[in-house]
A and B are shown apart, each in its own frame.
Chain A
Amino acid sequence: MTLMKHFLGAAATLALTAGAVAAEPAIIFDLGGKFDKSFNEAAFNGAERWAQETGGTYKELEMQDEAQREQALRRLAEAGSNPVVMTGFAFGDVLAKVAPDFPDTKFAIVDMVVEQPNVKSVVFNEHEGSYLVGMMAGLASKTGTVGFIGGMDIPLIRKFGCGYAQGVKAVNPDATVVLNMTGTTPAAWNDPVKGAELAKGQKAQGADVIYAAAGGTGVGVLQAAADEGILSIGVDSNQNYMHPGSVLTSMLKRVDNAVYEAFKEGEALTPGINVMGLANDGVGYAMDENNASLVTAEMQAAVDAAAEKIKSGEIVVHDYMSDNTCPAATF
C-alpha cells in the first residue's frame, strides 16, 4: 500500500511538472465527434494547421456524454494545458463555473459567450453566411420550395435557419421554406438516419434544395439528397466533395481559423468577445470543382453582390438570437 502511495505520488508530481514545463494547448471536441465532417472537424483542421506550422503538439479530448464536460475541462486545466479551447455552446455553463477556479489558465470557447476575465468567446455571424447560401438555394430551386434541417433545436440553429430563410425570400419572395429540427437532445447532432428521413420527407413536400445545419446528422441529409437526385447545402466545413454534383455549396464557418488563432496566441490569449462575420472572413460559402457545374455565373454574381452589401451594412440580416423572432420563418 505504501509502495502504491509512493508510485502515485511520483506519477502525480511527474504529471504536474511535465504540465508546467510544456503548457501545450488543448482542444475539446463536442458530442458530434472530431470527424463529424462539419463543425468539430473544422476545429480539428485548425488545430492540425497550427501543429504543422509550428511543429507544436496539443492535447485533445472528445466528449462521449454530457456528464464528462466539467471533468474534462478540469482535467486539462489541472494538467497545465494553456489555452484550453472548446467547441460548442454546450460548454457555456460548465466553463462559467470552471474558469474562475483556474485564473492562470486561458480558455477559448466557440459559439458561446462566457464573460470571465480569462475566457475568449468566439461567436460567428452564421446568419450572414446562411443568408448567402439561402440566396443560392432560392436561385437554384426549380420548385420554389427549399428545405432546412437543423440539428438540436436551440436558438443558435434557429439563427442558421432564420438567415437562410431570409436569403431565400430575398431572391424569391414566394418561396416556401420547410423547416425541420432533428431533435431536442444532443443526440440530434449525430443521427444520420433521422436526417435522411427528414430529407426524404422534405422532398415529398416539394423541396429540391436542402440545407443541413446539423453536424453529423447532416451526413445523412446529404446522402439522402444525393440518393433522391436533389441538391443539398453543407455546413461549417466545405462538404462539397462528399457528393460531387449534388452538394450545391457549403456554408463555411471558419471554426478552424478561430482554433488556429487561439492556439497561435497561446498563453497570451486575449480575453473578450470575438465576432467573426462576413467582413473578417469568419463565414462564407464554398466554391470548388465539385460544385462548379451547379452554380451559374449569375448566381455567384448575385451572392457576391449581396455579400458586399452585408459587409458595408447596406443589407442587415436579422439575427434570430437578438430577439428570438424571425421575420422570414416561424419555428
Chain B
Amino acid sequence: MDYATLLQLLDTTLRLATPLLFACLAGLYSERAGIFDIGLEGKMLMAAMASASVAFLTGSVWVGMFAGMAASLVLAGIHGVASITFRGNQLISGVALNFVASGITVLIAQRLFGQGGRTPPLAGDARFEAITLPLAEELRGVPVLGPLYAEVISGHPLLVYVALLMVPLTWWVLYRTRFGLRLRAVGENPAAVDTAGISVVGLRFAAVAITGILCGLAGAYMATALQAGFGREMTAGRGYIALAALIFAKWRPVAALWACLLFGFFQALALRPDVVEAVVQVKVPVPFLDALPYVLTVLVLAGFVGKAIPPRAGGEPYVKER
C-alpha cells in the first residue's frame, strides 16, 4: 500500500466517521445524563429527510440544516416526555421512535415529492460543498505532511470540521463547566443532585435536547453533504454503530473521536477489498470487514479490552419520593 492509497483511505475514513461522531456525541450527552437512547438512528433519519426536503424546497442548505435539527428535536422531545416525564422504559421509547422515523420519513417524502420516498437530488446552494482549507495547495509540496493536509484534512464539507470541533467542546462542557458536572452527576446519582436543589428533570431534558441537535447535524450531514438527497433508510444502521462506538469509548468524548475514526476506518477498508488483500496477502471477505466494529464492541463489553461501565443511573427514571 503506497502513501497515496493510505491518504485516500484516511480521507474516506474522515467522511464516513463524521455522522458516527455526531451521533456518538449525541448519545454521550444523553447517556451521561442517565437517559439511554436507542433512537439515535431514528433521529438521524428524520433529520436527513427534513433537511433534504427543506433544502430542496428553499434552495438553502442552511435552512435545511435547521429544519433537520428541528425535526430531530421533536423526536428527542417525545423521547424526553416518555422517559423523563412519564418515566417510561427508555429502550422501548427509543425503539418505537426508530420505527416511527423509518416509516414516517418515507411517507412525508413521498407525499411531498412523489418519488418513492426519495427527495429530488440537491445541487448548488442546497448542498454543503467541500471547503478547501487555506494554504492547502501551497503546502502540498511539503513532504509527507503536505499531502496529508491537502488530501485528508482539507477538502471536506463544513460539517466535518464542526463535528471535529464538537469533541473538545464536549470535553470542555462535561469536565470544565458547572453544567457538565451536574450532567454527569445526574447520570450517576440523581438523588444527590436533587438534594442539592438542582432540577433533575430540567437537566435531563437539556441533555436530551442536545442529543436532538447533534443527531440533527448528523442527519443533515448525511443528506446534504455526504449525499445529495434523502433516500429510504439512508442512515443504514449508523445510529447503532454510534452506540457501539460510545460503549467502545466508555462514554468519554475524546475516546469517542478515536472510536468513531476507527469504525470509520473499518468502513473505508470494507470499500477497498483490493487494498486489504494487498496488505495481508489473503483475500478477506467484505462481510468480515463490515462485521469488525461489532466484534470489537462485543470484545469491549465482554471485558477483554478494559472495562466499560455505563453511567450508574442510566436507564432508570428518577422518582423523587418512594
Residue positions of A touching B, CB distance < 8 A: 33-36, 62, 178, 180-181, 183-184, 187, 190-194, 196-198, 200-201, 204-205, 216, 219-220, 223, 242
Task: Let me know if B44 is at the binding interface, CB within 8 A.
Answer: no
Task: Let me know if B274 is at the binding interface, CB within 8 A.
Answer: yes
- Whether B231 pairs with A219 at a CB distance below 8 angstroms is yes
- Whether B116 pairs with A193 at a CB distance below 8 angstroms is no
Please, which residue of chain A has its CB at the minimum distance from the CB of B287? A184
Within 8 A of A (CB), among B1-23: 4-5, 8, 12, 15-16
- Whether B227 pairs with A190 at a CB distance below 8 angstroms is no
Chain A residues lying within 8 Å of B227, measured Cβ to Cβ, are 192-193, 196, 220, 223
Task: Let me know if B286 is at the binding interface, CB within 8 A.
Answer: yes
Chain A residues lying within 8 Å of B228, measured Cβ to Cβ, are 223
Task: Let me know if B272 is at the binding interface, CB within 8 A.
Answer: yes
Cα(A178)–Cα(B275), bound, Å: 12
**If the complex has contacts A187-B236, A192-B234, A223-B227, are A34 and B116 also in contact, measured as CB distance less than 8 A?**
yes
Chain A residues lying within 8 Å of B273, measured Cβ to Cβ, are 180
Within 8 A of A (CB), among B253-312: 268, 271-274, 286-287, 290
- Whether B274 pairs with A33 at a CB distance below 8 angstroms is no
Chain B residues lying within 8 Å of A34, measured Cβ to Cβ, are 116
- Whether B271 pairs with A35 at a CB distance below 8 angstroms is no
B80: min CB distance to chain A, Å: 29
B123: min CB distance to chain A, Å: 9
Cα(A93)–Cα(B267), bound, Å: 33
Count of residues in B whose CB is under 8 Å from the partner chain: 28
B53: min CB distance to chain A, Å: 15
- Whether B222 pairs with A204 at a CB distance below 8 angstroms is no
Task: Let me know if B317 is at the binding interface, CB within 8 A.
Answer: no
Please, which residue of chain B has its CB at the minimum distance from the CB of A35? B116
Please, which residue of chain A has its CB at the minimum distance from the CB of B116? A35
Cα(A287)–Cα(B212), bound, Å: 47
- Whether A205 pairs with B274 at a CB distance below 8 angstroms is yes
- Whether B271 pairs with A180 at a CB distance below 8 angstroms is yes
- Whether B271 pairs with A216 at a CB distance below 8 angstroms is no
Task: Let me know if B216 is at the binding interface, CB within 8 A.
Answer: no
Task: Let me know if B232 is at the binding interface, CB within 8 A.
Answer: yes
B279: min CB distance to chain A, Å: 15
Please, which residue of chain A has its CB at the minimum distance from the CB of B222? A193
Cα(A205)–Cα(B272), bound, Å: 10
- Whether A197 pairs with B121 at a CB distance below 8 angstroms is no
Chain B residues lying within 8 Å of A183, measured Cβ to Cβ, are 286, 290
Task: Let me know if B58 is at the binding interface, CB within 8 A.
Answer: no
Task: Let me know if B226 is at the binding interface, CB within 8 A.
Answer: yes
A-B contact pairs, 13 of them (CB 8 A): A33-B118, A183-B290, A187-B233, A190-B231, A190-B233, A193-B234, A194-B236, A196-B226, A201-B271, A201-B272, A204-B4, A219-B121, A223-B121
**If the complex has contacts A192-B231, A220-B227, are A242 and B121 also in contact, measured as CB distance less than 8 A?**
yes
